[in-house]
A and B are shown apart, each in its own frame.
Chain A
Amino acid sequence: MALSDKEVSAIEKKAREIRETIVQMLVAAGSGHTAGPLGMADIFAALYFHILNHDPKHPEWEERDRLFLSNGHIAPVLYATMAHAGYFPVAECLTLRKFGSRLQGHPERTRLPGLESTSGPLGSGLGQAAGYALGAKMDASTSSAQAAPNFRVYCCMSDGEQDAGNTWESAMFAGNNKLSNLTAIIDRNNIQINGMTEQVMPLENLRAKYEAFNWHVLEVDGHNVRAFVDAVGEAKAIYEKPTVIIAHTIPGKGVKEIEFDYTWHGKPPTKAEAEKFLRELRTLRGKIKSEHQ
């Protein structure tokens, strides 16, 4: 079912709040990644406020959808989204990367309820998601299984981690096992630490690569909430293959001066920059007169 305009606005509003929190937590942390988290805010808002079956008060709920974050360095967007969804207080976001915090620089499952895995080293999320999806498929196909598991498995990846060989080992594995209960999402923002992906290690034709590995491939504008939700819906209808959604995003989305700039991949804003960024986010680039309205 298509999203109503009202639903789209509500998700977009959440995405703005998430972006503000990301900037606040990064400046408080004094280190971390800015471009990727800001670029994925729309998608994470859509996931946690519309797509995923989940219950922030019961993170271990058996029937929840499972989201494996493979590119652990975009943890700020995951944490900020989880906080806004009610997993923990938004104020806790300011403990990011601090000693004793549950919000580790890269996500650690055993420290924070609601995380499905530990990630950071790139290329290892897809295999875990595939293993999980395969476990569920095995039980669904054996008569001895009790109720067949009724959840979907999602995996978020970066485009940079498509450089990693183990990503393709897992892509081959998921395609071979026809894991139709698995949907992968690639943040195609075209940047990685050393520069533009097509200069560092060209990925194109990414669509053709996944198709050759027996995946159903969809491409969307990663800032068009409605298009993304539709793509996830289409993935559910594909029964013979896993689906990958190549989400074209703008790194640093929401803060004009850092958009598309790869040097913002792995650094946080300074205090002064953060104030400027927050003003821009809060006033929708001047469309709203005052940030305190």
Chain B
Amino acid sequence: MLQEHIHLLPRLLEKSGATPAMMATRDGFGEALLELGEKDERVVVVCADLAESTRVLGFKEMYPERYIEAGVAEQNMATVASGLAAYGKIPFIASYATFSPGRNNEQIRTTIAINNRPVKIAGMHAGISVGPDGATHQALDDIALMRVLPGMTVISPCDAEEARQATLAAALHPGPVYLRFAREKTPVMTTRETPFTIGKAEVYWEGEGAEVAIFATGPLLYNALCAAQELEGEFAVSVINVHTIKPLDREMVVKKARGAGAVVTVEEHQIAGGLGSAIAEVLAREAPMPMEFVGVHDQFGQSGEPKELIAHYGMDTRHIVAAARRARGRSSSKV
């Protein structure tokens, strides 16, 4: 059942048609920037001609002297931010994830990662749920691009409130950070009291004698919780929010996986190189076991409504339920 001690919002999963509060993770980012602007003079924002949609417009209006326009030039945005960080500023760079860290990947690698400059990279419109914009704008490879860089912290918040907390934490983090945000409004699950620590996964649902551990990242965590609820009475699962994909909370991953004996990972990202890969890398070594991967299987997306795309590419609640059954089946047939 939902873990009450982590202060989630009440009535999140009512069976008779839950109506959770909806807010986009990018809005949580925008709110946090306003708080940071007030709190810390070193915080500056560099944006590549997308102030409104990356939700840095509020910061720009409130602190115009600390807003830096890069124009449609993401490569320069990354290198300028490296220079600003070298000087002693705390730069956030904001664009769509397909452009940053997509287009400017090499600049991030060389001038931010190898160079170890604490730039905060905010990638918007991540995932297939960008919808109508189509495949060119649906970042499904950004986690992989950032996770492979030594020293990079990779965070994929599950809702707007966690996005706010993650942004505040990223500002204080001494190294470079990639923050992944979505365009669409998604259910708000957490509150200001919900614990958030970079690198620490949290159990959001715990079933007595769980037989499958479901590790989810980003807004799809809500679907994973719905799946857990749907499976109640059939078999028990646990659902873990893995907001930080790097560094991965290995201890929690191994503990929950071992306890259950089967694993499902859930992410709005290519299976190759994302959360599922990260967890498989740990479990293959520490505790090999049946695993199912919910995510995009080596395809590009297409235009459509977020909901239908999530369903078409196999990431809705129904698919998570099916994946959990498969994982459990493989696990018990092994015995």
In the assembled complex, the CB of A138 is this many whole angstroms from the nearest CB of chain B, namely 7
Chain A residues, Cβ within 8 Å of B110: 118-121, 124
- Asked whether any CB of chain B lies closer than 8 Å to the CB of A110, the reply is yes
Contact with A along B109-126 (1 / 0, CB 8 A): 011001110000000000
User: Contact: B83 with A127, CB < 8 Å?
Assistant: yes
User: Contact: A131 with B79, CB < 8 Å?
Assistant: yes
User: Contact: A138 with B76, CB < 8 Å?
Assistant: no
Chain B residues, Cβ within 8 Å of A127: 75-76, 78-80, 82-83, 107, 111
User: Contact: A110 with B87, CB < 8 Å?
Assistant: no
User: Contact: B115 with A131, CB < 8 Å?
Assistant: no
Contact with B along A164-179 (1 / 0, CB 8 A): 0110011011000000
User: Contact: B79 with A128, CB < 8 Å?
Assistant: yes
Task: With CB as the reference atom, state the residue of chain A lying closest to B76.
Answer: A169
Chain B residues, Cβ within 8 Å of A290: none
Main secondary structure of the interface of B (DSSP, over half): helix
User: Contact: B71 with A173, CB < 8 Å?
Assistant: yes
- Asked whether any CB of chain A lies closer than 8 Å to the CB of B232, the reply is no
Known A118-B115, A138-B44; contact A172-B65, beta-carbon cutoff 8 A: no
Residues in B61-112 with C-beta less than 8 Å from chain A: 65-66, 68, 70-71, 73, 75-76, 78-89, 91, 106-107, 110-111
User: Contact: B71 with A172, CB < 8 Å?
Assistant: yes
- The CA of A136 and the CA of B81, in the complex, are separated in Å by 13
User: Contact: A173 with B73, CB < 8 Å?
Assistant: yes
Known A108-B114, A120-B110; contact A173-B86, beta-carbon cutoff 8 A: no
- Asked whether any CB of chain B lies closer than 8 Å to the CB of A134, the reply is yes
User: Contact: B76 with A173, CB < 8 Å?
Assistant: yes
- The CA of A291 and the CA of B116, in the complex, are separated in Å by 45
User: Contact: A129 with B83, CB < 8 Å?
Assistant: yes
- Asked whether any CB of chain B lies closer than 8 Å to the CB of A13, the reply is no
Task: With CB as the reference atom, state the residue of chain A lying closest to B91.
Answer: A131
Chain A residues, Cβ within 8 Å of B66: 138
- Asked whether any CB of chain B lies closer than 8 Å to the CB of A210, the reply is no
User: Contact: B71 with A118, CB < 8 Å?
Assistant: no
Known A134-B83, A135-B89; contact A128-B111, beta-carbon cutoff 8 A: yes
Chain A residues, Cβ within 8 Å of B41: 144
Chain B residues, Cβ within 8 Å of A144: 41
- The size of the chain A interface, using a CB distance under 8 A, is 34
- The CA of A118 and the CA of B106, in the complex, are separated in Å by 12
Chain B residues, Cβ within 8 Å of A172: 71, 73, 76
User: Contact: A166 with B107, CB < 8 Å?
Assistant: yes
Task: With CB as the reference atom, state the residue of chain A lying closest to B84.
Answer: A131
In the assembled complex, the CB of B162 is this many whole angstroms from the nearest CB of chain A, namely 30
Chain A residues, Cβ within 8 Å of B65: 138, 141-142
Which of A108, A116, A124 has the most B CB atoms < 10 Å from its CB? A124
User: Contact: A131 with B73, CB < 8 Å?
Assistant: no
Which of B82, B107, B111, B116 has the most A CB atoms < 10 Å from its CB? B111
Chain B residues, Cβ within 8 Å of A128: 79-80, 82-83, 86, 111
In the assembled complex, the CB of B42 is this many whole angstroms from the nearest CB of chain A, namely 9
- The CA of A255 and the CA of B197, in the complex, are separated in Å by 59
- Asked whether any CB of chain B lies closer than 8 Å to the CB of A117, the reply is yes
User: Contact: B73 with A109, CB < 8 Å?
Assistant: no
Chain A residues, Cβ within 8 Å of B44: 135, 138
Chain A residues, Cβ within 8 Å of B76: 127, 130, 166, 169-170, 172-173
Chain B residues, Cβ within 8 Å of A135: 44, 83-84, 86-89
Chain A residues, Cβ within 8 Å of B71: 169, 172-173
- The CA of A68 and the CA of B85, in the complex, are separated in Å by 14
User: Contact: A117 with B87, CB < 8 Å?
Assistant: no
User: Contact: A131 with B87, CB < 8 Å?
Assistant: yes
- Asked whether any CB of chain B lies closer than 8 Å to the CB of A133, the reply is yes
Task: With CB as the reference atom, state the residue of chain A lying closest to B80.
Answer: A131
- The CA of A138 and the CA of B87, in the complex, are separated in Å by 11
The 9 closest A-B pairs by CB, nearest first: A131-B83, A127-B79, A135-B87, A169-B76, A131-B80, A169-B73, A166-B75, A132-B83, A128-B83
7 additional contacts, CB 8 Å, given A110-B115, A170-B76? A117-B111, A121-B106, A125-B79, A128-B80, A172-B71, A173-B70, A173-B80
Could you write out 18 A-B pairs with CB less than 8 Å apart? A117-B111, A118-B110, A119-B110, A127-B80, A127-B83, A128-B82, A130-B76, A130-B83, A131-B86, A131-B91, A135-B44, A138-B89, A142-B65, A166-B76, A166-B107, A169-B76, A170-B79, A172-B71
- Residues of A in contact with B (beta carbons under 8 Å apart): 68, 108-110, 116-121, 123-136, 138, 141-142, 144, 165-166, 169-170, 172-173
- Residues of B in contact with A (beta carbons under 8 Å apart): 41, 44, 65-66, 68, 70-71, 73, 75-76, 78-89, 91, 106-107, 110-111, 114-116
